[in-house]
Structure 1
Amino acid sequence: MTETDIIVVGGGSAGCVVARRLAEDTGRDVVLLEAGPSDQGVPGIRSAGSWAGLLGGEYDWNQSYGATWRTAGRAVPIPRGRVLGGSSSINAMLWYRGHRSDYDAWEAAGATGWNYDSLLPYFRRSEDWQGGSTEYRGAGGPMRIETSRDPHPVAAAMLDGAAELGFDVLDDANAAENDGAALANLNVTVEPETGEVTRWSTVRGYLEPAAGWPNLHVLVDSPVSRLVFEGSRCVGVDYERRSGDALPPETVRLRARQGVVLTAGAIHTPRLLMLSGIGDPDELVPLGITVHTALRGVGKNLQDHPLLMGMNFRAREPLGPTRDNGGGSMLNWKSSKSRGKPDLHAFVVQGPHATDEVRAGHDLSGSVFAISPGLMDSRSVGYLRLKSADPRAALEIQPNYLAEQNDLDALIESMETIADLAATSAYRAIGSSPVAPHQRLSKQEKIAFIRSSCSTFFHACGTAAMGTGGSSVVSPALAVHGIDGLWVADASVFPSIPTSNTQAAVIAVAERASELIAETL
């Protein structure tokens, strides 16, 4: 194949959605290019409880945020799926939208027409919620969403303990209110024949039902190295194809009659734009990259949520086998630094959860579980940059974790709340005693623990932000400024990070993007 109508670059959480929706017009030919391999035949991907074993392995891009003194000189690994389905194939399967004001803030930042009310139909459209259709939830959509049918004891204790501390216990944190504790929404299902809890990735939800469509072509092991232009129009891509394991890859040019949609994620979409000459000239020219379109916002505005990994406790008795995704419940609450909505979030882990540095100084043997807090309304902003014009070269990726004092202060408060939660009668019933940290800490000790424990929720976004201002990269219609036939439809376009896991928001954006793009074709 040398030509098609639409090329979708990146077969992850967004790309599977966009490719499927655009191919629903049977007169349109769509090619989806994924850098990684197929997800088929990989038991660790389908089994919900084994996702942590995928991190850092062959289905992960194995990239890291750069070390800084704010993270105690540690690089922070940022798991991203390098496999069909992208991060939806290796993540923790959490399905959470955050607060409605998160999306109203996008419109206030210049993304005209993007707000909570405009996105709600696409959140609902994507879902097959276990509770059926409601004002806030969808039924019959591609993504199956369930909560635990038999919560693990540490997950159930979070709900009871939160109530003991005066927090609300919510029936559904994706409905009208999200302040309080709830069972986690997960994109999983329970297999009727075996009872096993299995992952429901975007491959399973969007691509597998369309597997026989003659106008939808999915090519795996096909990393894109460059965008191809004729004047101001994007007319295709160059990608690598292997003819055999013993042979070097060959570069293949695929032309697009109607356009190219980038859905490679918040790391690889800006990377591909910059490699193709779209970005800040001050950064591209020194690398020998010819500037095609000067857009200084490419790679800027990187945002991610800092996570403390984690606060660990030892139970009196063995905890039993892992259930669901290894978690099962969550808590949202406001710090004294909040901006009118829950800014802190915590979840349970049915086992130890700690960085190597914390493990080295603490005994985490035995029946240990964790309650891991993090900051969902983080204010620190970073960037990513090319180090070379070589598409295979490493990137400089820096979220600037803890650069804003408010972020650090809120996380300090979070540790005290988790210590209080673990001391409730609900957790005392399973004999919880602190092991990492092993006691309540002073403020300075908390800061040291935060710096050695700070990790990522895997929520990178914002690096090709939509808007109308000089720092934006795409228009509110998701078209790249100054270029015809090129769109971005993934987490890169978020003007600001929502106070939640990003998977549901990425899929909703991709759903709406598919309509916006189709209207222009």
Structure 2
Amino acid sequence: MNTTERLRVAYDYVVVGGGSAGCVLAARLSQDPCVTVLLLEAGPGHAGAEPVDHPETWATLLGGEYDWGHTYEPNPLLGGRAVPIPRGRVLGGSSSINAMLWYRGCADDYDAWEEAGAKGWNFRALLPYFRRAEDWEGGATELRGEGGPLRITRPADPHPIASGLLGAASELGMAVLDDSNGPDIEGASLANLTVADGRRVSTARAYLDPAAGRPNLTVRTDVTVIGLLVDGNRCVGVQYDAGHGVEEVRAEAETLLCAGAISSPHLLMLSGIGDPLQLREHGIGVRVELPGVGRNLQDHPLLMGVNFRSKNPLGPGRDNGGGAILNWKSDPALPQPDLHAFVVQGVHATPEVAARYDIAGDVFAVSPGLMRAHSVGELTLRSADPAVAPRIDPRYLSDPRDLAALVAGLDRIFDLAGTLSYRALIDHPVAPDRRLSGAEAEEFVRRSCATFFHTAGTCSMGYGPDAVVDSELRVHGVEGLRVADASVMPVLPSCNTNAPVVALAERAAALIRGEE
């Protein structure tokens, strides 16, 4: 793997973005010694980036040197707040700064992709690629993989508040699951984590490091792609800036956009591929009219969180600073769980909530969020300058059903706190300091609402008027260009997005190599 050589004029494949998807694609494609692969990452390399390796302190990475620093647009439904949306800017991308949760939701989530127009994309089609990626501590089963690049483990010695969540859920008559990625997802379970021997397992470590000896794989960091090279109706490469002015590199076979649900649509629009009205507004020549670029933006709203004062010192952080999750339905009539919660071995509160309550000392949180939100937003250009971030707006709570579900989520957390399992750990609630009802609960939701960091959908897969890529991830109307990241998901799965992005990238590699 070449990391310092001057870039050649052309490679067979140019992969834009060294994150969860890009590392997978570059590693898998370069298994063929007859092709050359170039991976370009805007951030630094992961070697020597010591802070990313420590699972229990991952939250300190947010807003730091390995984060793009994006922010959602101010939302009047959240009191005018602008919610930060962390995205990894380091080799491994968000898999290098996230909470390391490996969770794929339920089968219906992926069947919904096919129902939305993504032909051939369903749970049955994706399951082999989830399994291919995994080295599950429990060994191979019909649903789990063994021997794959990503080591997946559960907490061996869970923190008491993680164990407490399992006990509390059981007292309320909810299931306690052995595996959150098993046949059923409703209930409580210890988290599946991309953690091995106490260290984070990012896609950079799992996929790229083992490929280090391949002469046909070139990985360049600190290189920002600023546009696509389009000749007629074919993408022939990219423009990039490595600190020495604008340069170009050509892709003889294909250019593969893996820059994520924010940067992939942004690059398409900067290159003249998108809504013609928006492009012309910013003086960008229209190459391909694809009005769906940037539309269909989806994310999971999260409440940061319900905080409790602990009866005992919390002690050092363990695992990923959490360790257990819970899924349940805001309405028993729903076919699948829509609410999700996790524990936090410390304070979890927005600045607005922290300013209203005393959260000093030994405080922990149980944080609920909505995994099946109805609100849909969009990403739009702010400028034709690549250095200017786009407008990103998930339109949280614009659908009133989302507010009602999150209020129901608050109630369930207080139900859990009233069980014997948690009463043994909780001295009293601190933020909020009591069970809320009616308008109070709605106001707390608006002050506490943030993000799970699961932005998706902005280059949606399908064949309708707003579709951006087809079922082989090829951009409509452009030859030699595919998108393979969370942006192509037509429907956001009810889970953390790292696992589905990895599976999607595994399948993309198989499609490109003609193995499927």
Normalising to structure 1: TM-score of the pair?
A: 0.97
User: Within the alignment, does 1:127 sit opposite 2:128 as a pair?
Assistant: no
Matches within 5 A, 1:27-426: 27-190=34-197, 197-242=198-243, 249-336=244-331, 339-426=334-421
Name the aligned partner's letter for residue 362 of structure 1.
Y
In structure 2, how many angstroms separate the alpha carbons of the residues matched to 1:338 and 1:514? 39
1:284-319, CA deviations, whole angstroms, 9 ceiling, x for partnerless residues? 101000011000000000000000000000011101
User: Within the alignment, does 1:500 sit opposite 2:507 as a pair?
Assistant: no
Measure how far apart 1:339 and its partner are: 3.6
CA contact (8 A) 1:337 1:406 kept: no
CA contact (8 A) 2:417 2:426 kept: no
1:35-85, CA deviations, whole angstroms, 9 ceiling, x for partnerless residues? 111111122101111211110011100011111111111000000001110
Matches within 5 A, 1:424-463: 424-463=419-458
Name the aligned partner's letter for residue 320 of structure 1.
G
Name the aligned partner's letter for residue 221 of structure 1.
D
SS in 1 for 2:240: strand
- Aligned residue pairs, count: 509
Name the aligned partner's letter for residue 343 of structure 1.
D
In structure 2, how many angstroms separate the alpha carbons of the residues matched to 1:405 and 1:307? 15
1:261-302, CA deviations, whole angstroms, 9 ceiling, x for partnerless residues? 000000000000000000000101010000110000000000
Name the aligned partner's letter for residue 166 of structure 1.
G
CA contact (8 A) 1:423 1:432 kept: no
Name the aligned partner's letter for residue 339 of structure 2.
L
Name the aligned partner's letter for residue 329 of structure 2.
K
Measure how far apart 1:338 and its partner are: 6.3
Q: Any stretches of 5+ residues in structure 1 without a counterpart?
A: 191-196, 243-248
In structure 1, how many angstroms separate the alpha carbons of the residues matched to 2:144 and 2:389? 41
SS in 2 for 1:65: coil
CA contact (8 A) 1:132 1:139 kept: yes
Which of residues 1, 9, 32 in structure 2 aligns to 1:2? 9
Name the aligned partner's letter for residue 364 of structure 2.
F
Task: Give RMSD over aligned pairs.
Answer: 1.1
Name the aligned partner's letter for residue 186 of structure 1.
L
Name the aligned partner's letter for residue 121 of structure 1.
P
1:121-177, CA deviations, whole angstroms, 9 ceiling, x for partnerless residues? 000000000000001000000111001000000000000000000000000110100
CA contact (8 A) 1:422 1:432 kept: no
CA contact (8 A) 1:337 1:410 kept: no
Measure how far apart 1:336 and its partner are: 1.3
Measure how far apart 1:453 and its partner are: 0.4
Measure how far apart 1:520 and its partner are: 9.6
Name the aligned partner's letter for residue 194 of structure 2.
N
In structure 1, how many angstroms separate the alpha carbons of the residues matched to 2:333 and 2:92? 34
Measure how far apart 1:431 and its partner are: 3.1
In structure 1, how many angstroms separate the alpha carbons of the residues matched to 2:480 and 2:450? 37
Name the aligned partner's letter for residue 325 of structure 2.
M
SS in 2 for 1:361: coil
Q: 1:313 to 1:178 in 2, by over 3 A?
A: same
CA contact (8 A) 2:292 2:468 kept: yes
1:211-249, CA deviations, whole angstroms, 9 ceiling, x for partnerless residues? 11000000000010110011111101010113xxxxxx3
Normalising to structure 2: TM-score of the pair?
A: 0.98
Q: Any stretches of 5+ residues in structure 2 without a counterpart?
A: 1-7
Measure how far apart 1:432 and its partner are: 3.7
Measure how far apart 1:394 and its partner are: 2.4
SS in 1 for 2:24: helix
In structure 2, how many angstroms separate the alpha carbons of the residues matched to 1:224 and 1:471? 25
In structure 1, how many angstroms separate the alpha carbons of the residues matched to 2:236 and 2:404? 49
In structure 1, how many angstroms separate the alpha carbons of the residues matched to 2:184 and 2:104? 11
In structure 1, how many angstroms separate the alpha carbons of the residues matched to 2:77 and 2:134? 39
Name the aligned partner's letter for residue 173 of structure 1.
S
Equivalent residue, structure 1, for 2:462: 467
CA contact (8 A) 2:52 2:200 kept: yes
CA contact (8 A) 1:281 1:294 kept: yes
SS in 2 for 1:6: strand
CA contact (8 A) 2:306 2:432 kept: yes
In structure 2, how many angstroms separate the alpha carbons of the residues matched to 1:517 and 1:71? 43
SS in 1 for 2:402: helix
SS in 2 for 1:77: coil
In structure 2, how many angstroms separate the alpha carbons of the residues matched to 1:431 and 1:3? 61
CA contact (8 A) 1:8 1:261 kept: yes
| Farther off after superposition, 153-162 or 40-49 | 40-49
1:173-224, CA deviations, whole angstroms, 9 ceiling, x for partnerless residues? 101000000000000012xxxxxx1100001110000011000000000010
In structure 1, how many angstroms separate the alpha carbons of the residues matched to 2:506 and 2:63? 29
SS in 2 for 1:168: coil
